[in-house]
Amino acid sequence: MLKVMSEKELTQKSVEYRKKILKYIYQAKAGHTGGSLSCIDILNVLYNYTMDVDPGHFDSPDRDRYIQSKGHTVEALYVVLASRGFFPESDLETLCKYQSHYIGHPTRKVHGVEQNTGALGHGLSLSVGTAIAGKLDKRDYRVFTVLGDGELPEGSNWEAALSASHYKLDNLCAILDKNTLQISGPTSAVCNTDPVDEKFGAFGWAVRHVDGHNIAELMAAFDALPFEKGKPSLIIAHTVKGKGVSYMENQLKWHHGVPDPKQYADAIQELDLLEETLS
Amino acid sequence: MQEIVDATIENIAVSQRTNLEVFSGTLQHLAQTDRDIIVVTSDSRGSGKLVPFGQKFPEQIIEVGIAEQNLVGVAAGLASTGKKVFAVSPACFLTARALEQIKNDVAYSNNPVKLIGISAGVSYGALGSTHHSLHDFAVLRTINNMMIVAPADNFEAEQAILLAAESDIPVYIRFGKKQMPLLSEDEKTFEFGKGRIVREGSDLTIIGAGETVAPALRAAEKLRREHHVAAAVVSMHTIKPLDYDLLRDIAATGQPVITVEEHSVYGGLGEACASFLIQHDFHNRFKIMGIPDEYTVTGSQTEIFNHYGISEGGIAAAALGLIS
């Protein structure tokens, strides 16, 4: 069973997760650092507060589902699943290594992963299908998916957004990790998707904005689901790419940058200091 | 070898039903007792002969509109919960527009969706190359964890649907629009991956799939009647996994082999057979018939078939060329 964490515990957990994300990316010499750090607070609150899912009952038809559409930030998902006991954290020592199951995008070979993702613009349709099944079977599970703002130009997202409102999927919640940066530059410069709230609103979604690093705001938003009966919910989480490591924040190079030993030590030191202030 | 008696040109019995009608009827039969049967359509319930299904089981049909990527993604999500999901769309769009969803959401994630490609091959005839699927065998063959099936008669169509409903891996089934022949009255067994010998003959073997099996049978009869040549005909309904045992038996006779497919000559049934044979030291005379690497001539399906030799006369002529 899920032991629901308090706001304080969640806040502390986020720091621990950030350190682990950095540790495993540093060891693997590969990973999507900036985006993992921008979405980790969302995953933390989902897995330690909101969702009804646990490793002992992962085959339960009533479990809440999480499908990571922005699959490339899998390091955030792996450290959260490990801490929830889906697999021993030591498995992550093999991240991206020869013959490891822990590859650079989510795979169902890893216990706790619902769907293989990685190509962008797939998570929302998968979530819509899963949510429709919940309605058909009159089960009360919910389906959560984290989208990246960089993947929104994929047309399949908008096909899925139409279906979600058409089928009145108020058991579906998408969280947009709006860190405003993608691999070639600011998302607004690559392909502007704003005003994204109005776009989803026009597609029939109920939309709220939160500070995606504010644990209390995330908890409150998830507690308020569905925002409107008969509508899918979108939480636009305003986030910072590289959040928590000052030299990484809002810096494009950390999209999939890997810290060198000095940078890694500096990052851990910064997070250690933050951890001390929280304890 | 024996010939089956009902395969003369005149009396290859043509059933009154298309394979699509068999598909729709079989699904309705299944849905009566199984609420997990779900059909997902992309504005394709009419062309998929699914209007009666939708009327009888309105909660078991999901319409996504003309949006094939979403069709397949939604189908995969539904299948992940244990639903037996048939995603139905014209083969040309399903296997090109939604190829990435087929690759990742269905095959790689192992959500056992039953992908139903309707009006496949050149069934749309003069509507042109946008509506033709001459690539589907080739692209889907290269995707791991995907079966590919092209039924050649109503029996194979019904059996394929029944097996697909219970399959725990993804399957692509391709249907045309033609009323189909009854290849054999007394056939009782059907297995994915096991080709059917629908006519025996000791001079050469013609391997077809789907709607090319009927012209292959007519060609075999023409060869018997006019040239005293005994051609065997195989319905290789499962393109993947291919029936290697049967291929080995055919090749071991040393006789020529012709493959005939409603598909590009690149990457389909013919090259799949050729690849197996050449890698197992079989050097039978061999010919791949199908659609050459071009946008097809304008015409009906039958006219296109005739133009490229996928016909009684065309296949018979190719056979005579190989055995000469």
| Cβ-defined contact of A159 to B69 (cutoff 8 Å) | yes
So what's the pLDDT on residue B188? 74
Give how far B64 is from chain A: nearest CA, Å: 6
So what's the pLDDT on residue B12? 63
CA atoms of A40 and A77, how far apart (whole Å): 8
DSSP assigned state of A257: -
Average pLDDT over residues B220-230: 97
Average pLDDT over residues B217-238: 97
Is the pLDDT reported for residue B187 higher than 90? no
Q: Which of A208-217, A234-243, B85-94, B187-196 is the least confident region?
A: B187-196
So what's the pLDDT on residue B3? 35
Is the sign of the CA dihedral A77, A80, A83, A86 positive or negative?
negative
For B185, counting Cβ atoms within 10 Å of its Cβ (0-12 exposed, 13-18 middle, 19+ buried), the class is exposed
Is the pLDDT reported for residue B34 higher than 90? yes
| Cβ-defined contact of A129 to B75 (cutoff 8 Å) | yes
Average pLDDT over residues B101-130: 97
Give how far B323 is from chain A: nearest CA, Å: 50
Peptide bond preceding B58 in cis form (omega within 30 of 0) = no
Give how far A254 is from chain B: nearest CA, Å: 27
Give how far B43 is from chain A: nearest CA, Å: 13
Give how far A156 is from chain B: nearest CA, Å: 6
A34 and A181 in contact (C-beta within 8 Å)?
Answer: yes
B40 and B176 in contact (C-beta within 8 Å)?
Answer: no
A186 and A180 in contact (C-beta within 8 Å)?
Answer: yes
**Percent helix, strand and coil across chain A, each to the nearest 5:** 50, 10, 40
Residues in A touching B81 (Cβ below 8 Å): 61, 130, 133-134, 137
Residues in A touching B82 (Cβ below 8 Å): 61
Please provide the distance, in angstroms rounded to a whole number, between the alpha carbons at the two ends of chain B.
21
Task: Report the b/e string of A92-121 with b at 16+ CB within 10 A.
Answer: bebbbeeeeebbbbbbbebebbbbbbbbbb
DSSP assigned state of B295: P
Specify the 3-state DSSP secondary structure of A180. coil
What token pair was written down for A137? 């079977």
Mean model confidence pLDDT for chain B: 94
So what's the pLDDT on residue B13? 65
Nearest Cα to Cα of residue B49 among B24, B13, B15, B77: B24
Which regions in chain A score pLDDT beneath 50? none
Q: Which residues of B touch A (CB under 8 A)?
A: 38, 59, 62, 64-65, 67, 69-70, 72-83, 100-101, 104-105, 108-111
Average pLDDT over residues B121-144: 97
**Partner residue facing B59 (CB), from A126, A136, A163:** A136
Query: Which residue, among A124, A156, A165, A167, would best test binding to B if mutated, counting the most B CBs under 10 Å from its CB?
Result: A156
Global ipTM: 0.95
So what's the pLDDT on residue B7? 41
Distance from CA of residue A193 to its chain's centroid?
A: 19
DSSP assigned state of A48: I
β-partners of residue A186 are A181
CA atoms of B324 and B319, how far apart (whole Å): 9
So what's the pLDDT on residue B248? 98
Nearest Cα to Cα of residue A76 among A63, A62, A66, A61: A66
Residues in B touching A133 (Cβ below 8 Å): 77-78, 80-81, 83
| Angle, CA of A78, A82 and A84, to the nearest 5° | 120
A157 and A121 in contact (C-beta within 8 Å)?
Answer: yes
Peptide bond preceding A259 in cis form (omega within 30 of 0) = no
Is the model more confident about B48 or about B75? Answer: B75
Whole-prediction pTM = 0.95
A26 and A258 in contact (C-beta within 8 Å)?
Answer: yes
**Partner residue facing A133 (CB), from B70, B73, B83:** B83
How many other C-beta atoms lie within 10 A of the C-beta of residue B54?
17
Q: Which residues neighbour B280 within 8 Å (Cβ) at sequence distance 6 or greater?
A: B248, B251
| Cβ-defined contact of A133 to B70 (cutoff 8 Å) | no
Q: Which residues of A touch B (CB under 8 A)?
A: 61, 108, 114-119, 121-122, 124-134, 136-137, 155-156, 159-160, 162-163, 166-167
Give how far A171 is from chain B: nearest CA, Å: 14
So what's the pLDDT on residue B5? 35
| Cβ-defined contact of A115 to B79 (cutoff 8 Å) | no
Q: Which residue of A has its CA nearest to B69?
A: A156
Is the sign of the CA dihedral A23, A29, A31, A34 positive or negative?
positive
Specify the 3-state DSSP secondary structure of B308. coil
Instruction: Please name the helix (run of DSSP H) or strand (run of DSSP E) that holds residue A190, with its range, or none.
Output: helix A187-191
